[in-house]
């Protein structure tokens, strides 16, 4: 069974600081990888996704993530965070098979201090 680990549960940064959130997954086959964001009081929205090709993917709002197959990792990065980035961030993996079972990590709460 697939699983996703996010090691940072709560991250506090000042505005303009750089961000990197860790995500590791466990699955032996082909995977599709996602980062979702949940702003306070809102539903989840897709930030970016990786299916194949260039392992460095760029998403909305200046976020990017790098897929490193050898490390089973898909870390999320942003060079300079803003107060509006305060949210919960979820890494997710889909086994890409016929049944689209998406497994989410436990989430990382990002708090950006003005």
Partner 1 sequence: DTAVSQTPKYLVTQMGNDKSIKCEQNLGHDTMYWYKQDSKKFLKIMFSYNNKELIINETVPNRFSPKSPDKAHLNLHINSLELGDSAVYFCASSQSSEKLFFGSGTQLSVL
Closer residue to partner 1, CB minimum distance, 99 or 114: 99
- Element housing 1 (H / E): none
How many whole angstroms separate alpha carbon 14 and alpha carbon 12? 7
Distance of CA 113 to the CA centre of its chain: 21
CB of 16 to partner 1, least distance (A): 26
Where helices occur in the chain by DSSP H, the ranges are none
Task: Name which of 28 and 114 has its Cβ closer to partner 1.
Answer: 28
- Cβ–Cβ < 8 Å for 15, 112: yes
| Nearest approach, Cβ of residue 43 and partner 1 (Å) | 4
Judged by beta carbon, residue 6 or residue 75, the one nearer partner 1 is 6
Binding residues for partner 1, rule: CB under 8 A, are 32, 34, 36, 38, 42-46, 49, 51, 88, 90, 94, 96, 99-104, 106-107, 109
CB 96, min distance to partner 1, A: 5
Supply the minimum distance, in Å, between the C-beta of residue 13 and partner 1: 19
C-alpha distance from residue 63 to each of 29, 36, 46, 98 (Å): 26, 11, 11, 29
């Amino acid at each position: 069974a697939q699983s996703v680990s996010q090691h940072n549960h709560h991250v506090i940064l000042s505005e303009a600081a750089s961000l990197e959130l860790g995500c590791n997954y466990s699955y032996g086959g082909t995977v599709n990888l996602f980062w979702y964001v949940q702003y306070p009081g809102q539903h989840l929205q897709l930030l970016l996704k990786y299916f194949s090709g260039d392992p460095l993917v760029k998403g909305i709002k200046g976020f990017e993530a790098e897929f490193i197959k050898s490390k089973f990792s898909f870390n999320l990065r942003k060079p300079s965070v803003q107060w509006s980035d305060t949210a919960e961030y979820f890494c997710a993996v889909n086994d890409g098979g016929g049944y689209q079972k998406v497994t989410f990590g436990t989430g990382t709460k990002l708090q950006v201090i003005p």
